[in-house]
Structure 1
Amino acid sequence: MNAPPVGIEARWAVSALFFANGLVVGGWAPKLPAMMARLGIGESTAGLLVLALGVGSICLMPVFGALVARRGSAHAARLAAVLFAPSLIWISLAPSVWTVAAAVLLFGGLIGGMDVAMNANAVAVERARRRAIMSSCHGFWSLGGVAGAGAGGMLIQTLGETGHAVLVTLAVAAILAWALPRLLRDPPGAEHVHQPLRLPRRPLPYLIGLMALASMIPEGAILDWAAVYLQREMGAPLSLAGWGFAACAATMAVMRFLGDGLRRRLGAVRTLRLSSVLAMAGLALAGLAPSAAVAIAGFAVAGIGIANMVPIAFSAAGNLPGLAQGIGLSVVTTMGYSGILLAPGTIGFLAEGMSFSTIFIGLSLLLLIPLLLSRLASNADFEGGG
């Protein structure tokens, strides 16, 4: 059996998977209004379709975690990526609300499954190369998302919904044709092959999952509610309100490409602590801001902090001793991404009785959880950082 590649190709191959995943997910964003027009549905039905995407994601994450444990992350990533690539075509061709719902449910499941598998492969590359790469992998996902969302609306206008889906699928297929043969092959260790696949009985994976959950809820809150906050409570025009999330997303993308070097210098624990404090300060600044411009600056600072918290949690989860490969990571990813699902509705409910200013200040206090649990990130170190 050939030795698995541990060189630069394996590192760029898994980065390409993150970019391809982000490209398709970004392409979904402008597809939603086009799909609503095609099917003649309103916001409430569209909201249920978005919920179906999230439910599918959470349902298949543990399944692919088990597949990683049994067959290795490269095998799971190949399967998920090949099934995932044409997802936008299925959704575009589905003729009714119910068939679209089924396609979106499967689309969400494959997003979640591919997410677990490619994060597990990134952990395997980190372990093999003894270098942190997880933050930049998530940076490549952000680039793919920006490219998919940015070009998607124009392509749908020019080529139509199906033409856009076919073009995105061809682009992703080309990326996968290069990347999949070059993924790090990581068959599970003999001690884990016959280990029963069950939820971990010790608390450590769930504590790291709680850390990821607390880190992802503010990100989801800024995505869904920053513009509403800036408009309703700050009096910002719509043209300015969108800059709340844009500022956060921009600083997150930059910091994800800088994050691996930062983690190598400071160690995972100190990087997580610094990130938590910055994110808390940014959210508090946004909540206490006297003007829209100051609030946007607060969201930008929050993005600097949030950027590397989840990648560090995922690295730590993928390196937990004594767990079958993929099991700890599937627990943490499922708990973390449930924050993106739970945050919008919960915050919308809370906003009926309190201001968004108070909510963002409260979210800054939520980040005390990863700050207090930061010592658990020590498993994410590869070069002796502390």
Structure 2
Amino acid sequence: MARSARGAVSALFFLNGLMVGSWAPKLPVLMSRLDISEAVAGGLVLLLGLGSVTVMPLFGALTARRGSAHAVRLAAVLATPALLLISVAPNLAATMAAVVLFGATVGGMDVSMNANAVAVERQRRRAIMSSCHGFWSLGGVLGAGPGGVAIAMLGEVWHAVAVTLVLVAGLALSLPHVLRDAPAAEGAQAAPLRLPRSPLPYAIGFMALCCMVPEGAILDWAAVYLQREMGASLSVAGWGFAACAATMAAMRFLGDLLRQRLGAVRTLRIGSLVAMAGLGLAGLAPGPGPAIAGFALAGIGIANLVPIAFSAAGNLPGLAQGIGLSVVTTMGYSGILLAPGAIGWLAERTSFSAIYLGLAALLLVPLLLSRLALTADFSTGGDAA
């Protein structure tokens, strides 16, 4: 049972990453099909983020009241047709509505599947969060890199049809095996369902936000940066995020072991420094090749920053299941989903090169706040479980 639940939650992370990765090469296609500027495209990204961060707290409360298994099933089923709806939307208004749906359902799925991963950690008494996020990155690789090639070969709509069929098959295989965790109200010492009074979840959430802004900037704008500022083809441009996601996946599969050996604080510090170097290389790169290499290096550094923050939030004592995690995921994903919208506006006035250099400096924040990650060491959370 424990092993099948571990496989099921890993599959959910993979499928969520596949959806998000498939969005990456779609944005420049939407810009061309709808004849919109970077600023308008940034507005679409902003709508995606607003849909996501608005719904995340609702799924945190749903997780607390009915368990993460119920919440993740609902979100996953609703998210499945969203990419196809974006691809067939006939005008900007319909595209905006479909993008909001995509952001809301993917965001709700993200909160609930992270809560389910914490539940599996507690059942197994072993850290799995980094490797779960590794499966998310693996899905992102297959969604972003080959996705750009598939769009170029098959067209936007048939690419979306193919992704949707994969999602349906994957959910049919994984959802029956998702761990059925007890709602908070059924616990013997259930905490009240309210926003936390302790500042710790909000501080961890701010750290997660600063870690996820650069990831969001690579997800949404790497392809546009490579194509428009560096002259790369569409099939090459998709590999900007894919390179980042690939190295993130590799490092996340090592992340649980690294955290056990080095500790969460040291792992976070090393990752922040490596990510800063990668973003700096991407911003200063003279052409697509070095820029993609920079994104790959950034992925190595970013890889375990967010899993450490989420694992710390999911194991905070005194909070109802899903509440602390929903605070941190909502704050964190406001970085990955809302900030890139502002980046589109800034890109028209500066350049993506300058933006990526600025994002390297932003990672000074998690570097300075790294002591907040101490509770992510699973030996602490696991003993308390």
* Pairwise TM-score range, normalised by the shorter structure: 0.7 to 0.9
Q: What's the CA shift string for 1:20-45, capped at 9, x where partnerless?
A: 1122233334445665676x543355
What residue is the counterpart of 1:99 in the other structure? Answer: 94
Structure 1 pair 361–102 and aligned structure 2 pair: CA distance change class (3 A): closer
Q: Distance in 2 between matches of 1:161 and 1:221?
A: 22
The residue type paired with residue 249 of structure 2 is: A
Unmatched 5+ stretches in structure 1: none
Larger Rg: 1
The residue type paired with residue 205 of structure 1 is: P
Work out which of the residue numbers 237, 241, 259 in structure 1 matches 2:255.
Answer: 259
What residue is the counterpart of 2:304 in the other structure? Answer: 308
Q: Offset at 1:214?
A: 1.0
Q: Distance in 2 between matches of 1:160 and 1:350?
A: 30
Q: Distance in 1 between matches of 2:174 and 2:207?
A: 31
Structure 1 pair 354–101 and aligned structure 2 pair: CA distance change class (3 A): closer
Q: What's the CA shift string for 1:269-288, capped at 9, x where partnerless?
A: 22112212322344455567
What residue is the counterpart of 2:201 in the other structure? Answer: 205
Q: Distance in 1 between matches of 2:222 and 2:153?
A: 31
Q: Distance in 2 between matches of 1:225 and 1:94?
A: 21
What residue is the counterpart of 1:170 in the other structure? Answer: 165
1:368 aligns with 2:364: yes
Structure 1 pair 291–198 and aligned structure 2 pair: CA distance change class (3 A): same
Structure 1 pair 226–192 and aligned structure 2 pair: CA distance change class (3 A): farther
Residue range with higher mean Cα deviation, 115-124 or 344-353: 344-353
Q: Offset at 1:331?
A: 1.2
Q: Is the 8 A contact 2:46 2:340 kept in 1?
A: no
Per the alignment, in what secondary structure is the counterpart of residue 186 of structure 1?
Answer: coil
The two structures have a TM-score, normalised by structure 2, of: 0.83
Q: Percent identity?
A: 71
Q: Distance in 1 between matches of 2:222 and 2:145?
A: 20
Q: Offset at 1:253?
A: 2.3
What residue is the counterpart of 1:136 in the other structure? Answer: 131
Q: What's the CA shift string for 1:122-145, capped at 9, x where partnerless?
A: 111112212221222122122222
Give the alignment of 1:192-231 within 5 angstroms: 195-223=191-219
Q: Offset at 1:9?
A: 1.1
Per the alignment, in what secondary structure is the counterpart of residue 71 of structure 2?
Answer: helix
Q: What's the CA shift string for 1:235-268, capped at 9, x where partnerless?
A: 9663688776554333222211211221122222
Structure 1 pair 186–360 and aligned structure 2 pair: CA distance change class (3 A): same
Q: Paired residues, what number?
A: 377
Q: Distance in 2 between matches of 1:70 and 1:356?
A: 43
Unmatched 5+ stretches in structure 2: none
Structure 1 pair 229–164 and aligned structure 2 pair: CA distance change class (3 A): closer
Q: Offset at 1:224?
A: 5.4
Q: Offset at 1:67?
A: 0.4
Structure 1 pair 164–220 and aligned structure 2 pair: CA distance change class (3 A): closer
The residue type paired with residue 19 of structure 1 is: F
Q: Is the 8 A contact 1:267 1:384 kept in 2?
A: no
Q: Is the 8 A contact 1:276 1:305 kept in 2?
A: yes
Residue range with higher mean Cα deviation, 163-172 or 57-66: 163-172
Work out which of the residue numbers 113, 120, 124 in structure 2 matches 1:118.
Answer: 113
Q: What's the CA shift string for 1:313-368, capped at 9, x where partnerless?
A: 11111111111111111111111111123433545666677776665554333223
Residue range with higher mean Cα deviation, 285-294 or 192-201: 285-294
